Structure 1
């Protein structure tokens, strides 16, 4: 086995759990609706490589990332 295999086996098993304990203090149900929606959309934004909900909708409809991000932020509409 290569060196990468040995390095993976040496990692502690509970490593991911130590980082999740900080989020236990926050109640998802107590968040405002817009914050809850943005947290739910975060994986989709990461997948499509954009940073707004409007840009996600445009990426789903096959708009280029740069155009979708600029339209989502309203940058391209200011000149109209």
Structure 2
């Protein structure tokens, strides 16, 4: 995974599994893949984590702390 600017790029490869017995037809795809996702502007790119468990990739992208609004008092001159 590579976070770049506001894009998260994920690349990988599906590999063919070895199977015993007669295989008449294969429906599982193999080969390289690439997935790109746009990220919102307010994320902590350095804290992105990814885990792979049971064939499921989980990507966690923490949001940055939102800027707190502050009030500006207007005075007459």
Q: Per the shorter chain, which TM-score range?
A: under 0.3
Output the TM-score relative to the length of structure 2. Answer: 0.23
Which has a greater percent of strand? Answer: 2
- Which has the larger Rg? 2
Higher relative contact order (CA 8 A, sep 6+): 2
Which has a greater percent of helix? Answer: 1
